[in-house]
Structure 1
């Protein structure tokens, strides 16, 4: 039991250090949101809508990732042998790969969140709001004070020089 934990911890540590070494700044969704944030820099409601959509997109991705990891765990689970005593051994069967299909509703929920809170929908709502139209009722209802509390930061690109 301790060996898989150590191996997975080592893999996570390596992945985190690799992530820290190679900054990913050219992701399409990040540059898109940075562009929207700079376009509506003085509008706190537009910033809150961008924050809302960012959180919901991350939530959709986490549902998909969690479901994929759960399905992987179900598929790779192996049968166990338990010594009952008296020379008897009880063997439990491993779950079938079809059992991994039980996580499909959770994957569908994550995909639904990603589609509903896509960058295209975000752009439509923020552009319409910037043109003077009121926010749709469902967006107004989802805007909580925590989305307004995040500081508005003007993004400035920084030149990165590789180390020699």
Structure 2
């Protein structure tokens, strides 16, 4: 039973990345620039958004904000998964009673607190991935381009550092 729980938790961690992807109804088709024959022009979603809305510094800042928060959500998710597996492994055979160096009685510690804390941390990571998904990014940018004001939850998170050039190479124009 325990092996099944660990296997299901592992599968859940692998499938969580689907939460951060936009649904098919939100995706729009964007024509990619003409590539040289024999090469494949592959651009990430953020590069597409930068190409479409890159003229405005606020739009670039919004893209940088979402990229940073998505990275943070993924980091929380991976770290919580690793810590949970490590904590569970440490709880196995944790209680030993020995007499003169000879193990007389060995029992496992209760792994429930490890799974509860790991689940809470993973839930926080998933919530960040859902809140700052690519679908919400596109929705926010299209409403901003249409002249609507930025939502309060985005406006209060925008800091001066997001108006600077992105730190990652693949997110540059």
Give TM-score scaled by structure 2 length. Answer: 0.63
- Asked if 1:76 is matched to 2:89, the reply is yes
Counterpart secondary structure, 1:150: coil
1:15-70 superposed Cα distances (whole Å, 9 cap, x missing partner): xxxxxxxxxx95xxx61110000111211100000000001111111111111001
1:100 aligns with 2:119: no
- Alignment length (residue pairs): 126
- For the residues of structure 2 that align with 1:44 and 1:93, how far apart are their CA atoms? 60
What are structure 1's unaligned runs of at least 5 residues? 1-24, 155-164
Does the 8 Å CA contact 1:60/1:112 hold for their aligned counterparts? yes
Are 2:95 and 2:107, in contact at CA under 8 Å, matched by a contact in 1? no
Across the aligned residues of Structure 1 and Structure 2, the Cα RMSD in angstroms comes to: 2.7
Aligned to 2:31: none
1:33-112 aligned at under 5 Å gives the runs: 33-77=46-90, 78-79=92-93, 87=100, 93-102=107-116, 103-112=118-127
Aligned to 1:153: 172
Partners of 2:155 and 2:95 in 1: CA distance: 56
Q: Runs ≥4 in structure 1, deviation > 6 angstroms?
A: 81-84
CA change 1:92–1:52 in 2 (3 A) is farther
Q: TM-score, normalised by structure 1?
A: 0.66
